[in-house]
Amino acid sequence: MTTTMVLPEVDQQVRVGKSCHFCGAELQRTFVDLGMSPLCETYPSATDLNCGETYYPLHVYVCGKCFLVQLEEYESAENIFSDYAYFSSYSDSWLKHADNYCAKMKSRFGLDENSFVVEVASNDGYLLQYFVQRNIPVLGIEPAANVAKVAVEKGIPTLVKFFGASLAEELVREGRRADLVLGNNVLAQVPNLNDFVEGLQILLKPEGVLTLEFPHLLKLIEHNEFDTIYHEHFSYFSLLTTVKIMEAHGLKVFDVEELPSHGGSLRVFACRADAETHQIDVNVARVIAEEEKAGLGTPEGYEAFAQQVKATKLALLDLLLNAAREGKKVAGYGAPGKSATLLHYCGIGKDLIEYTVDRSPYKQGRFLPGTHIPIYHPDRISETKPDYVVILPWNLKNEILEQLQYIREWGGRFIVPIPSATIL
């Protein structure tokens, strides 16, 4: 199916120039260039508005050797994630997703009070709380102290550290190898990919299971999900490339599930390469075949994306400009990280979206990075009665449509920007 890739004998932390986060090959092929944008999870306060903000290129490359799609590391993970604005527990649908996952893992792998589960990038305990409710011992690892504090208050043991091989070795020395290691939407956020995956392998018991969830590159391309590209995400994964990365670190992918979350994600199941319990499921070959059919195993398969993205931009701008000409009031719903990419690439500011709202108290009273669109409590929508509400976290469209059905009372309508601007 795949050939195990041998990593170059170089220190991955001292890469010079544009080289692949995984295999070290020189990056020469552009996937898409989205211009300049600030860090997407930096929400300035009112007192910060007269200060400058740093913008970085959103120039995305695809490795010609392993086909990992990636950004350069412009800002360190320590600066991005040590104090973070994203709290997973503010999405009801995401909590349900987490609860369902815990139930499935308990049933499938026989987890009980004698098992040990470790989540890397455990955020505010949104997921591990459901293992705790099932009397399964857990440990969270979360580098953002402000977010980890919420998990600890829920009674979830949490280490405030960045994960890598050295931390995994430390846990092993303490006798804390895991039956299940999981990482939801963290693999993309790791600049030192090889150190991170090596740590996952070290932490696993001989027959332990690793699950990783991440947005599926195939769906990103098919649905024009360019706004999921931002500086906090260093890499974007196909299963083809993920298998190569796992194999390079002594892991084998034995199953995969396709999920609707985040516009289309993969849940990859892996174990140690020498594990005897887990046989490779037909799902792995099926998804790889889909990717190969779409051209993700060749450089040519990545060439059309930039034009698709441009078409999506023009469609959204056309819709919002027409609304502005007609004197319509337009607000946003949500202040997700992806909105920074969407708004900056499309050139959308307060002239086209007057304000946005968000359920997170951390973001209320602050402003979107760069555009300085103000963020209010969701009650602002019923107070101002906008003609249109742009759903910025479009991946939560169904949840938000249900929450905001009341805007129909004054004739309000919704705009969904991705995959192409649509009025609902």
How far is residue 23 CA from its own chain's centroid? 22
Picking from 340, 343, 381, 385, the residue whose alpha carbon sits closest to that of residue 359 is 381
pLDDT above 90 (res 91): no
pLDDT by residue (tens digit) across 39-57?
Answer: 887 899 999 988 888 899 9
Structure tokens at 391: 């759903």
Cα atoms found within 13 Å of the Cα of residue 193, Cβ hemisphere only: 28
pLDDT at 245: 97
Is the CB of residue 252 less than 8 Å from the CB of residue 284? no
| DSSP 8-state code for residue 367 | B
H/E stretch holding 399: helix 397-403
Q: What is the mean pLDDT of the chain?
A: 90
Rounded Cα gap, residues 73 and 56, in angstroms:
10
Picking from 345, 274, 271, the residue whose alpha carbon sits closest to that of residue 55 is 345
pLDDT by residue (tens digit) across 111-149?
Answer: 999 999 999 999 888 899 999 999 999 999 998 888 888
pLDDT at 12: 40
* Average pLDDT of span 254-271: 92
Nearest-Å Rg of the Cα atoms of the chain is 21
Characterise 391 by phi-psi region: left (phi > 0), alpha (psi -120 to 50), beta (else). Answer: beta
Name the residue with tokens 């140690």. 272
| Position 10 confidence tier, pLDDT thresholds 50, 70, 90 | very low
| DSSP 8-state code for residue 343 | H
pLDDT above 70 (res 26): yes
| Position 78 confidence tier, pLDDT thresholds 50, 70, 90 | low
What SS3 state is found at 321?
helix
pLDDT by residue (tens digit) across 384-424?
Answer: 999 999 999 998 899 899 999 999 999 999 999 998 899 99
* Average pLDDT of span 217-232: 92
pLDDT at 17: 55
| Position 69 confidence tier, pLDDT thresholds 50, 70, 90 | very high
* Average pLDDT of span 365-383: 96
